[in-house]
Chain A
Amino acid sequence: MKTTADRIDPVAINGIGTSPLRKEDWPLVRGEGTFIADFKRPGLVHAFVVRSPLAHAQFPSIDCTATLAAPGVLDVITANELPDRGRPIPTRQFADEGSNRFLQRPLADGVVRYSGEPVAVVIADSRYRAEDAAELLDIDYERLDVVLDPDDAVAANAPLLRPDAGTNVAGHLLVEMGAIDEAFAEADLVIKETFRIQRHAAVPLETRGLLAEYDAETESITVWGAAKIPHVNRTILARLLGWSDESRVRLVELHVGGGFGARGEFYPEDFLIPFAAIRTGRPVAWVEDREENLRATNHSREQVHRVEMALKKDGTFLALKDSFINNTGAYVRTHGMTVPALSVSMLPGPYKWPAYRGEFRSVVTNKTPGGTYRSPGRFEINFVRERLIDIAAHRLGLDPVDIRRRNLIDRTSFPHDLGTLYDGHPVIYDSGDYELLLDKALPAFDYEGLERWRSEPAAGGIRRGLGIGFFVEKAGPAEREYARVELNDKGDVMVYTGAASVGQGVETVLAQICVSHLGLPYERVRVIHGDTALIPEGMGAFGSRATMLGGAAVMRASKQLRKRLLDAAAEELEAAPADLMLSPEGVSVVGAPARSVSLKTLLSTSAGVIIEEHRFVCDLLGFPYGIHVAAVEVDTASGAIRIHRYAVAYDIGRCVNPVLVAGQISGGFAQGIGGALLEEFSFDANGQPMSASFMDYLLPTSEEVPDLEVLITEDAPSPLNPLGVKGAGEGGTAGVGAAIANAVSDALGSEVTRLPLSPQRVVELAGE
Chain B
Amino acid sequence: MKPAQFEYDDPETEEEALDLLARHGDECKVLAGGQSLVPLMNFRLARPARLIDINRIDSLSYIKREDGRLVIGAMTRHTHLERAAEVAQGWPLLTEAIGWVGHAQIRNRGTIGGSVAHADPAAELPAAFTALDASFQVRSKRGSRTIGWDHFFVSEFTTALAPDELVMAVEVPALDPGSGAAFVEYARRHGDFALGGAAVTLRLGRDGHCEKATIALVSAGPAPVRASSAEQQLRGSTLDDSSIRAASVEAVKGLRPTSDLHGSTEYRIGLLRTMTERALTKAAQRARSST
Contact = CB atoms under 8 A, between A and B. Distances in A.
Contacts of A759: 186, 188, 195, 263, 267, 271
Interface stretch (B1-9, B56-64, B86-94): B1-9
Contacts of A640: 186
B43 A758 contact: no
Contacts of B264: 760
Contact of A763 (B190, B267, B275): B267
Contacts of B44: 131, 135
B262 A638 contact: no
B274 A704 contact: no
Given A637-B274, A639-B271, 12 more contacts: A127-B2, A128-B2, A131-B44, A290-B1, A637-B270, A638-B271, A691-B261, A698-B189, A758-B262, A758-B263, A760-B263, A763-B271
B188 A698 contact: yes
Contact of B261 (A291, A682, A763): A682
B113 to A, nearest CB: 22
Give the most central of B262, B263, B275: most A CB within 10 Å: B262
A135 B263 CA distance: 34
A706 to B, nearest CB: 13
B268 to A, nearest CB: 9
Interface residues of B, number: 25
A289 B1 contact: yes
A693 B43 contact: yes
Contacts of A691: 261
A678 B189 contact: yes
B274 A638 contact: yes
Interface in A118-147: 127-128, 131-132, 135
B1 A760 contact: no
A132 B5 contact: yes
Interface string B30-67: 00000000000001100000000000000000000000
A701 interface: yes
Nearest to A696: B261
A448 interface: no
Given A131-B2, A291-B1, A760 B190 contact: no
Interface string A93-131: 000000000000000000000000000000000011001
A118 to B, nearest CB: 16
9 residue pairs, one from A and one from B, having the closest CB atoms: A289-B1, A637-B274, A760-B267, A703-B190, A682-B261, A128-B2, A638-B186, A760-B263, A690-B261
A700 interface: yes
Nearest to A288: B1
Contacts of A698: 188-189, 192
A639 B3 CA distance: 38
Contacts of B236: none
Interface in B242-291: 260-264, 267, 270-271, 274-275
A744 B191 CA distance: 24
Contacts of B271: 637-639, 759, 763
Main secondary structure of the interface of A (DSSP, over half): loop
Contacts of A758: 188, 262-263
A703 B188 CA distance: 11
Interface string A678-701: 101010000000110101101011
Nearest to B275: A638
Contacts of B193: 695
A149 to B, nearest CB: 16
13 contacts: A128-B2, A128-B3, A131-B44, A289-B1, A290-B1, A678-B188, A690-B260, A695-B193, A758-B262, A759-B195, A759-B263, A759-B271, A760-B267
B42 to A, nearest CB: 9
A289 B274 CA distance: 39
* Size class of the contact patch on chain A: 20 to 34
A252 to B, nearest CB: 26
Contacts of B4: 131-132
A509 B79 CA distance: 44
A290 B195 CA distance: 24
A763 B189 contact: no
A682 B262 CA distance: 10
Contacts of B2: 127-128, 131
Contacts of A690: 260-261
Interface in B143-200: 186, 188-193, 195
B107 to A, nearest CB: 15
The interface centre, meaning the residue of A135, A703, A760 with most chain B CB atoms within 10 A of its CB, is A760
Interface in A685-725: 690-691, 693, 695-696, 698, 700-701, 703-704
A648 to B, nearest CB: 22
Given A693-B43, A759-B195, A701 B267 contact: no
A290 B270 CA distance: 34
A118 B193 CA distance: 32
Interface string A527-543: 00000000000000000
Given A696-B261, A698-B189, A763 B270 contact: yes
A701 B186 contact: no
A135 B192 CA distance: 31
A701 B190 contact: yes
A693 B2 CA distance: 14
B188 A701 contact: no
A414 B192 CA distance: 49
Contacts of A135: 44
A127 B2 CA distance: 8
Nearest to B261: A682
B284 to A, nearest CB: 16
Nearest to B259: A760
Contact of A291 (B43, B192, B270, B274): B43
Nearest to B273: A637
Contacts of A128: 2-3
Interface string A733-768: 000000000000000000000000011100110000
Interface in A281-309: 289-291
